[in-house]
Amino acid sequence: MLKEILNHPTLSKKYFFPNYDELPVVHWVETEGGNLACYYKKLFPNKKTIICFHGNGETAGNYIKIYADFFEKLELNYLFAEYRGYGESSGIPALEGMLNDVASIVESIEKPIEEIIIFGRSVGSLYAIHAAALYPNAAGLIIESGISDVLERILIRLQPSDIGATPATLKAATDTYFNQESKISKFQNPLLILHTEYDLLVGLHHAKALYDAATCDKDMLIFPKGNHNTIFWENVELYKDTIAGFIEDL
């Protein structure tokens, strides 16, 4: 019942904004919910791999343009994960259902967990933090513009009755599957949280809640410029330098 609430077609349509994109080479990941068209570049066999879960309305292809050169300069391999119904992937987005894709994505590269860094931006933070709970000994975790309160984000878009729920059952569903503070508290290795002070879409309180809940070695940078969708571009040098320093210390 609780899964059905979070995977309701109306919630999927109002919460997710999938875009189509073609990749130069597809790293296919098979899941029960669809074949995911991810992008994987393995250039440094003896170096770490960063797995990135992108934001809403974005695609794995977008991340090639933004992060590929940067990660290569850091001598990182990288996997840009794709979601059901996004890019060239089959399937339909489903809030809870896509949690079940995370392990398949991580394990598709057949790399020791200790050599994997997890990155999640915005909606992607939901799945990155789930990965962090599944693999608490991953090398590091980076959360950018992350979400701590999924119920808040859902209620901005719809009423519980729109998806056959009551306020109580919707809360029970998000508490069961998206207790982000509990999940992030399980992570054991270094954590970096990035957020902008002027994020009017996912407020700064989300970042602070995640930071407070984490029990690992942690750091948080609050950028004084930019908003939810311009945090990278408005702070590009500091953003890159901060991530580079974090990676170097792992």
Domain ranges of the chain: 2-249
Per-residue pLDDT band at 1 (split at 50, 70, 90) = confident
Out of 3.40.50.150, 3.40.50.1820, 3.40.50.300, 2.40.10.10, select the CATH number for domain 2-249. 3.40.50.1820
CA 232-92-150 angle, to 5 degrees, is 55
In the block, tokens 């984000």 appear at 153
Q: What's the CA gap between 89 and 92, in Å, rounded? A: 9
Burial, 45: exposed, middle or buried (Cβ in 10 Å; 0-12, 13-18, 19+)? exposed
Q: What is the pTM of this model?
A: 0.98
162-221 pLDDT, tens digit per residue, is 999 999 999 999 999 999 999 999 999 999 999 999 999 999 999 999 999 999 999 999
- Average of per-residue pLDDT values in the chain: 97
